[in-house]
Amino acid sequence: MIRRLIILLLIVGLLLGYNELEQQAKHNISIGIFDDKIGLSLIGYTYNIKLNKMNNFYMGGGTSIVAHTISGGLKHYYKKSNFSIYSVFSLKRIFMDNEYSGTGAFNTITASFSLEYNLSNWTQINLGGVGVLDDAEDNYEFWGYPFMGFNFRF
């Protein structure tokens, strides 16, 4: 099921931006309390590919004290300016190996609704909420979390 969703996400992303695909990619480092792209991470890195003016495809990874995450997804802007409104749809693989939460890995599908304020050309502050569907322990659970953090583009 996850493989089909990854393939579908790639096809949709390419169809949305095929005619306007730009070769310029952006690097982002996020620092904060969780993240909409990476998930349960305090520090994350994403490699962004601009599909068109309102859509970006990204791949990345991040870490927190109890979990490590790899992620890929699509970021869609509804309003793009100094104060932007956007959503992110992503697939994540979360790995845990510690005394607090045990050992193992599970997949998640997430959707978020977020606000982004540009502090400068290379610094943004983001906040919002994320809804998560996970397959931990062979059953599906739905949960969510808020996030807030800084993005540094380079």
Q: Model confidence over 95-110: pLDDT tens digits?
A: 887 666 567 788 889 9
Residue 140 has pLDDT above 90, yes or no: no
Residue 23 or residue 84, greater confidence: 84
User: At which residue do the structure tokens 């979390």 appear?
Assistant: 145
Q: What is the distance between the alpha carbons of residues 89 and 109, in angstroms, rounded to a whole number?
A: 8
Residue 94 confidence class, pLDDT cut points 50, 70, 90:
confident
Nearest 5 degrees, angle CA 68-CA 73-CA 74? 150
Residue 18 has pLDDT above 50, yes or no: no
Q: Give me the residue spans of the domains in the chain.
A: 2-153
CB-based contacts of 144: which residues, under 8 Å, 6+ apart?
A: 129, 130, 131, 132
CATH number of 2-153: 2.40.160.20
Please give the model's pTM, rounded to 2 decimal places.
Answer: 0.79
